[in-house]
Structure 1
Amino acid sequence: MLAFVALVILLWNSIVIVGGNEIALIERRWFGSKMPQGRVVALGNEVGIQARTLGPGLHFLIPFIYKATKSVFTEILENEIGLIESVDGTSIPSGRIFAAVVPGHNSFQDGEAFIRNGGQKGPQIEILPPGKYRINPYLFKLTKGNVTEIKDFEIGIVESVDGVAIPEGRIFAQAVDGHASYQNGEAFINNGGQKGPQIEIIPPGNYRINPYLFKVTKSSATKIGDGEIGLVESADGSAIPAGRIFATVVSGHNSFQSGQDFIMNGGQKGPQTEILPPGVYRIHPNLFKVTKAEAVIIQKGEVGMVTAQDGAPIPMGRLLAQSVPGHSNYENGEAFLKNGGQKGPQIDVLLPGTYRINLNLFNIQVASAAVVEANKIGLVTALDGIPLPEREYVASPITGHNDYQDGSAFLLKHGQRGPQLDVLRPGTYYINPLMFSVAIDDVAVVERGQVGVIVSNVGEDPTEEMKRRLGSSQTGASEEEGKEKYVVPKGFRGIQEEVAGPGRYYLNRRAFMAYIIDTTNITIDWDDQEDTRFDQLTVISKDGFPIQVSVKVVIRVRPDQAPYMVAKVGSIDNLIQHVIHPMIDSSFRNQASTASAMNFLQSRSEEQAKAESRARIDLEKYHVECVSVLICQIKLPEDLMQTQTKRIIAEQQQEMYKMEQKSQAERTEMEKMRATADQQPTLVASEIAVKVATQKKAEMITLAEGNAESKALEGAGEGKRLKAIGDGEASKIAAIGEATAQAYNKQQEAIGEEAIKQIKIVELIAAAIQEGKIKIVPDVLVTGGGNAGDGLMGQLSRLLPGVDLTALVNKQAALPKA
């Protein structure tokens, strides 16, 4: 029984029951070999804590030799990883950090196999994925870690803490195959993975990466938004060739997302020619520096000027780089460089639109397009091209440049540098301002009543025959005077004989100068008004008086004579200033110097005619028609005008007196006629009586004709008798009158004129008293001062009303004296 009990106890102690989630850790206490020096965990027959473990189930162990200690399974949860560090094994080779991977240990669950197969002491490269593991905690120290999660729009940047050294001159470790995004550290190390920053990145996802071997840093993916571009600069690669600034484009790197392919295909370190269009990119931020920039937007009415920062040099003597094909509006920098694009300002421009251009390779400047508004023109000057011929001022025109919008075509067709002949009409032009400058000018407008005389700076030189031919048919002009050497037919350099009529002309003023000439009447004034061109003329008369003359001259230029007038004097203003004004001033000075001031004033019409005749002859030499010369006003000095005014006033007064006398005479005649009219009835009766008497006279004449003949002899004798008597009486009367006159003269000399007057008065009074017209005794007698004659004359004046005594006395005194 004791033996049975002892057997049962032995059997009971020999049985080890391991549950389903348990393992049994075994320690051999006795009866075994000693572990080698440096070992920690014993193998099969070695004394010590065994490397092996017992899994779930029923196990038999000799109780005194083995001691079993139960432990739970090692469980790695989802999104976790198990990091293993072995506390026993061979030493890790010098220079290595992590233990080499050995086979057969069944995820570190077979410790003996790990030791026997050369497992190394220290941190293990392998990791444990999620699950339950029977791992000997005395042999393997387990640390749980999290799964590396790379979210959408993230990337994982990896740095290996173990591996071979990166070659000198390189920054990033080269990529190796088979590591499954760094989840297989063994493959990484075995395939030559290098220690340091890795060129490969980890895309979004969950990864079981050994964080002791690989340090993973998360970074955002590179996102290039709409309207943006990505400018890339590589931190590693081969050197850019000398003389170049931007790296050569290599293929296969998938928009810089494959750094390894970039390096392997010869990618160069530095700024890259390629750019990133809008999108999301998994780009290694430590290998490639991506700078976001706005896409180039050229608005309507704008033009983009491009300057390349890299390329071949521009040939000597050229201002702009030549155009190359294939660069797709500078969006393909690689094609630009491969096709011979030149460094510097480009001749091609960007039209309105949106462009994804590498702004590190191309500098873009935005300028306004050339806008020519209505009634304007654009004058173009080329800043590049072949030089102008020595004597030319305007470049020869060429075709095919699309109104200067294709600068490359302009140069290919040997366009000349300098002012261009062709102009831009109203519109919008996308012209490269670095190639062409555009100046805005007004269109040439010729109004009604005007012509445009065109002076051409381009064309063939006029021939000697043209220079010799007469350009004028003016009367009396000599051959030399008639020559207009610069009036030429169309197509020759000089003043064009064909004029431009009314209208609007897109005229290049650099090549053609237009002189607008009025063909209607032009009036030029010389007076004292503020708005007139010239002051009134001041001339000196022959007698030294200053005279101010206001003159108006009317001229006209015929359309067919306008070019010749321009050839002579240049313009209407020159004609007025330098020809007409001196001519009129000299003409009136000369005319005034030959006449006195008053004669000049009085012969105004003659002076005007002279001036007009002289002006007409002089202006014909300049191909100008003189319509009229008018003297508007002549001003003499004030003193001279006052004298003249007084003389004229006196003459007018004298004439007035004569007119008044004539008026009184006419009045007398009128009174006489009035009196005659009042006696008209009497006159009518008298006329009838005259008619009756005339009839009677005729009757009596008829009766008396006979008597007349009979008495003719008697009448003739009687007539002679009466004539003798009449002659005697006449001689008598004449003698009496003469004697009376002599008597009166002698009386006057003797007693004076006053005494004679008094004697005559007494005689008149005596006659009046005799006829009963005067009372001898007055009714009232008044006496006063004065002599007796005065009193007598006063009394007689009262007694003889209506009698002009003075006139009567004078009449008597004037009678001839006997």
Structure 2
Amino acid sequence: MLELLIMIGVLVLAVYLFLKLIGLRVIPNDKVGIVEKWWSFKGSLDEQIIALHGEAGFQPEVLRGGIHFRTPLMYKVHIVPLVTIPQGQIGYVFARDGKPLDPTQTLGKVIPECNNFQDVRAFLENGGQRGPQRAILREGTYAFNLAQFIVITEDKIYYLPMGNKEEKEMIEKMVQTLKSRNAFRPIVITEDKVGIVTVHDGPSLPSGDIVAPTVGDDPSDPETYHNNFQDPEKFLKAGGFRGRQLQVLVEGTYFINRLFATVELIDKTVIEVGYVGVVVSYVGPKGQDTSGEDYKHGELVEKGYRGVWKDPLMPGKYAFNTYAGKIVKVPTTNIILKWISNQTGTHRYDENLKEVSLITKDAFEPSLPLAVVLHIDYRKAPLVVQRFGDLKMLVEQTLDPMVSAYFKNIGQKKTLIELIQQRDEIQKIASAEMKERFAHYNLELEEVLIGTPMSSPNDNKIDAILEQLRDRQIALEQIETYSRQQKAAEKERELREAEARAAQQKLLTESEINIQIQTNQGKAEYQRSLQEAQKIKALAEAEAEKEARIGIGRAIAIEEQVKAYGGPQYQVLQDVMGKFTQALEKTGIDIVPETVVAMGEKASSASFNAFEMLLTLLLTKELGIEFKVKETEDENVKKIKQEILNSILLAKESDKKEEIKENSQNLQQENNVS
């Protein structure tokens, strides 16, 4: 048994030694094998690292996953991982072997045949250069020969150590440079940003140029179109220079090798409404002057040439390269310049201006505050910029001395009081005269505004003069006030009289109307009285006629009755009986008592009372007969007698009243007629 185990062990050892001898190597699929040849009959390498012709050294081909036989007597296999570039990142390559870089080169040229550096032999045979490469690695997994290439990603460095301290330090320095430039991520430019590109490879700029001209920006030419510096080889083929580029990057994502070019993000140039942008270009060929023969202060050129462009930029956003030129914003709205200390206009071009010091005709030294409103035609804005370079310089070096001198000359011709009282006239004259001066500088003067002269440190007597003017004005105003108050009092008196007249006018009107009404009523009453008189007269005549006829009729009747019944006594008796009958009806006394108690002689006397009363009435004084009332008569008989007597008197009184009434009506009628 022991012998069997010894035989098995020896057999295993023999197999192991055999496999080692023949160089059996198993390489996983996520790794590659780098072959290093120990010796060769073709000798060794002198300067190269990769042996392209079977020499001793690192071989260009790598072993992929699987079983391989490389005898350890001749080869050493270094197993290394595959290189993985994460999504959205960039990998950088450093070549250990290849041709040396040219003096003007910073990075090794791109070798398309090397299949993204995975074919070492193709890289070296097609002129691949050692050092950092222009080509970059995009996301993916690669089988690199890490003896030839060092691959740097954001998270890891892939390489085969060779024990070279200088190389290690160089790699660490390269990593730090890439991280400082955020080189492992693509460049993302947002809406309001512009990318200024600086290329670090290629030929230098010609003398006198500060910005490299735009090249290879035509997509229709695939040989030179570098697609915004993402293809360094085509950029250089198109004639690009190293240095800051005129071409800028706008919104988008760019995979640019930061060892080849770096990008600086700046804000877009915004020209607000109310401004135009005058472009002063530092680059471009010399252009033809378009300012004309009469303009002697500089040249204006077309767009794209060096100098001041004759056409300004209108309001908007511009991806302007501020290293290739500048944009001077010129306001097209009114500009207010204030010669007043501690006050400035909206545009702040006047922040260094102060009041103009004057010396008047009467030797006062006031300070004159003033303001000037001007406007710049947007078409003339390039002329202003070409002439003065800057609007603040225009204000401080030209307008300030010109305006100050003008008003100093005016102040010498006016007294202080004239300067104050004639301010409006001076303002109008100044506006008219200074327009021509401003037009000489391509400016449009809108208005000159003059303030009140103030005391200066050299003259403290101005306040006294102003105080006297104020007192004088107050006195004048008081006179005017009293005069107006007097007129107001007179007007008030007239108003009161008018109000009183108006108040009485109502009564006068009412009285006149009442008089007219009464007049009309009198006339109406007069007419009615005439009509009433005529009516009364007609009625009276008719009544008189009636009474006359009735009287005549009665007289004839009575006369006939008298003749028939015995004379006038009978008529009297008949009337008396009628009255008696009315009296009995009115008093309600029975003519014949319901109960009669008669005893002896008294009884016959009592039953005769009524007839006795009638006979007594026939004998009354009113009839011319003795009328006596016996004391022994009954009270009822007395009442009847008295009623009859009253009726007779009443009838006579009625006749008198009728007569009086008739006489009154006749008198009234006569008055009305008169």
> Given the two structures, how large is their TM-score scaled by the length of structure 1?
0.49
- Structure 1 match to 2:187: 370
Distance 1:297 1:279, change over 3 A: farther
**CA RMSD in angstroms, aligned pairs only:** 3.9
- Structure 1 match to 2:398: 579
Code of the aligned partner of 2:234: A
Distance 1:397 1:567, change over 3 A: same
- Structure 2 match to 1:805: none
- Structure 2 match to 1:469: 292
Distance 1:653 1:469, change over 3 A: closer
- Structure 2 match to 1:537: 355
Aligned equivalents of 1:674, 1:396: Cα separation in 2: 95
Indicate yes or no: 2:296 matched with 1:483.
Answer: yes
Task: Give 1:520 deviation, angstroms.
Answer: 2.2
- Structure 2 match to 1:311: 98
Aligned equivalents of 1:278, 1:371: Cα separation in 2: 38
Q: 2:425 is matched with which residue: 591, 594, 606? A: 606
Kept after mapping to 1: 8 A contact 2:358/2:407? no
Code of the aligned partner of 1:148: V
Code of the aligned partner of 1:498: D
Kept after mapping to 1: 8 A contact 2:290/2:299? yes
Distance 1:303 1:662, change over 3 A: same
More strand by share: 1
Kept after mapping to 2: 8 A contact 1:608/1:630? yes
Kept after mapping to 2: 8 A contact 1:377/1:426? yes
Kept after mapping to 2: 8 A contact 1:467/1:485? no
Indicate yes or no: 2:124 matched with 1:337.
Answer: yes
Distance 1:668 1:326, change over 3 A: closer
Q: 1:523 is matched with which residue: 336, 345, 351? A: 336
More helix by share: 2
- Structure 2 match to 1:381: 198
Kept after mapping to 1: 8 A contact 2:85/2:138? no
Code of the aligned partner of 2:47: G
Task: Give 1:614 deviation, angstroms.
Answer: 4.1
Kept after mapping to 2: 8 A contact 1:222/1:281? yes
Please show how residues 560-639 of structure 1 align to structure 2 within 5 Å.
560-631=379-450, 634-636=453-455, 637-639=462-464
- Structure 2 match to 1:551: 370
Aligned equivalents of 2:297, 2:329: Cα separation in 1: 19
Task: Give 1:148 deviation, angstroms.
Answer: 1.0
Aligned equivalents of 1:627, 1:278: Cα separation in 2: 86
- Classify the secondary structure of the residue corresponding to 1:303: coil
Distance 1:353 1:569, change over 3 A: farther
Indicate yes or no: 2:50 matched with 1:247.
Answer: yes
- Structure 2 match to 1:63: none
- Structure 2 match to 1:416: 241
Aligned equivalents of 1:621, 1:280: Cα separation in 2: 92
- Structure 1 match to 2:171: none
Aligned equivalents of 2:128, 2:491: Cα separation in 1: 119
- Classify the secondary structure of the residue corresponding to 2:435: helix
Task: Give 1:502 deviation, angstroms.
Answer: 2.9
Kept after mapping to 2: 8 A contact 1:234/1:268? yes
Indicate yes or no: 2:76 matched with 1:288.
Answer: yes
Distance 1:548 1:337, change over 3 A: same
Distance 1:147 1:373, change over 3 A: same
Indicate yes or no: 2:311 matched with 1:456.
Answer: no
Aligned equivalents of 1:677, 1:351: Cα separation in 2: 108
Code of the aligned partner of 2:448: V
Aligned equivalents of 2:435, 2:476: Cα separation in 1: 40
Distance 1:627 1:665, change over 3 A: closer
Indicate yes or no: 2:207 matched with 1:390.
Answer: yes
Task: Give 1:567 deviation, angstroms.
Answer: 1.0
Code of the aligned partner of 1:560: R
Q: 2:12 is matched with which residue: 145, 148, 171? A: 148
Code of the aligned partner of 2:45: P
Code of the aligned partner of 1:564: L
Aligned equivalents of 1:677, 1:437: Cα separation in 2: 99
- Classify the secondary structure of the residue corresponding to 2:136: strand
Aligned equivalents of 2:247, 2:486: Cα separation in 1: 89
Aligned equivalents of 1:435, 1:677: Cα separation in 2: 106
Aligned equivalents of 2:464, 2:70: Cα separation in 1: 110
Aligned equivalents of 1:662, 1:591: Cα separation in 2: 43
Aligned equivalents of 1:531, 1:665: Cα separation in 2: 53
Q: Could you give the per-residue CA deviations for residues 459-478 of structure 1, whole angstroms, max 9, x where no partner exists?
A: 44245xx37833xxxxxxxx
Distance 1:357 1:631, change over 3 A: farther
Task: Give 1:676 deviation, angstroms.
Answer: 9.9
- Structure 2 match to 1:729: none
Q: 1:447 is matched with which residue: 268, 272, 287? A: 272
Aligned equivalents of 2:127, 2:384: Cα separation in 1: 59
Indicate yes or no: 2:112 matched with 1:325.
Answer: yes
- Structure 1 match to 2:254: 429
Aligned equivalents of 1:678, 1:436: Cα separation in 2: 103
Q: Could you give the per-residue CA deviations for residues 367-420 of structure 1, whole angstroms, max 9, x where no partner exists?
A: 133332213222223323233333433334332222211111222233223333
Aligned equivalents of 2:283, 2:189: Cα separation in 1: 24
Indicate yes or no: 2:56 matched with 1:268.
Answer: yes
Q: Could you give the per-residue CA deviations for residues 763-791 of structure 1, whole angstroms, max 9, x where no partner exists?
A: xxxxxxxxxxxxxxxxxxxxxxxxxxxxx
Kept after mapping to 1: 8 A contact 2:368/2:451? yes
Please show how residues 637-656 of structure 1 align to structure 2 within 5 Å.
637-656=462-481
Distance 1:249 1:605, change over 3 A: same
Indicate yes or no: 2:27 matched with 1:200.
Answer: no
Task: Give 1:491 deviation, angstroms.
Answer: 4.9
Task: Give 1:568 deviation, angstroms.
Answer: 0.9
Task: Give 1:327 deviation, angstroms.
Answer: 1.1
> 5+ residue gaps in structure 1?
1-73, 83-143, 151-155, 159-180, 183-197, 204-220, 251-265, 471-478, 685-818
- Classify the secondary structure of the residue corresponding to 2:320: coil
- Classify the secondary structure of the residue corresponding to 1:349: coil
Kept after mapping to 2: 8 A contact 1:240/1:247? no
Kept after mapping to 2: 8 A contact 1:377/1:443? yes
Aligned equivalents of 1:442, 1:679: Cα separation in 2: 88
- Classify the secondary structure of the residue corresponding to 1:415: coil
Distance 1:290 1:603, change over 3 A: same
Task: Give 1:424 deviation, angstroms.
Answer: 1.9
Instruction: Pick 1 or 2: higher relative contact order, CA cutoff 8 A, min separation 6.
Output: 2
> 5+ residue gaps in structure 2?
154-182, 217-224, 456-461, 510-674
Aligned equivalents of 2:245, 2:497: Cα separation in 1: 101
Code of the aligned partner of 1:590: N
Q: 2:145 is matched with which residue: 319, 341, 358? A: 358
Please show how residues 212-251 of structure 1 align to structure 2 within 5 Å.
223-224=27-28, 226=30, 228-231=31-34, 233-234=36-37, 240-244=44-48, 246-249=49-52
Aligned equivalents of 1:576, 1:415: Cα separation in 2: 43
User: What percent identity do the matched residue pairs reach?
Assistant: 30
Code of the aligned partner of 2:148: L
Distance 1:518 1:353, change over 3 A: farther
Kept after mapping to 1: 8 A contact 2:195/2:263? yes
Code of the aligned partner of 2:206: P
Distance 1:660 1:447, change over 3 A: closer
- Classify the secondary structure of the residue corresponding to 2:330: strand
Distance 1:338 1:638, change over 3 A: same
Task: Give 1:555 deviation, angstroms.
Answer: 2.0
Please show how residues 691-730 of structure 1 align to structure 2 within 5 Å.
none
Code of the aligned partner of 2:96: Q
